[in-house]
Amino acid sequence: LNHSQEELFFDKHPSLIYLKVFGSLSHVHIGPYMRNNLDPRSIMNNLVGYDDHSKVYKIYLLSTKRIIILKVYHL
């Protein structure tokens, strides 16, 4: 009774490494091709959720007040 459906079906433990805390503050890195030399290298953001159909994160950018979708997200 202490097993998830994934454990029972696939006979292995699910990976929880990609789960993050909602509302956690972090920085989104801006690649060198997207910025000039004097622009900041990252933007402050909040994690607001996960996508329903794929393994991506929904991120709220505090500076632009927009939600973007990222595949890679590190705290």
pLDDT in tens, 46-70: 989 888 888 888 989 988 899 988 8
Q: What is the pTM of this model?
A: 0.66
Among residues 29, 34, 10, the alpha carbon closest in space to that of 72 is found at: 29
DSSP SS3 for 43: strand
Q: Residue 44 corresponds to which tokens in the numbers above?
A: 């402050």
14/3 Cα distance (integer angstroms): 10
Residues 26-40: tens digit of each pLDDT: 888 888 888 898 988
62: domain range? 5-71
- Domains of the chain: total: 1
Q: Indicate whether 22 pLDDT > 80.
A: yes
DSSP SS3 for 56: coil
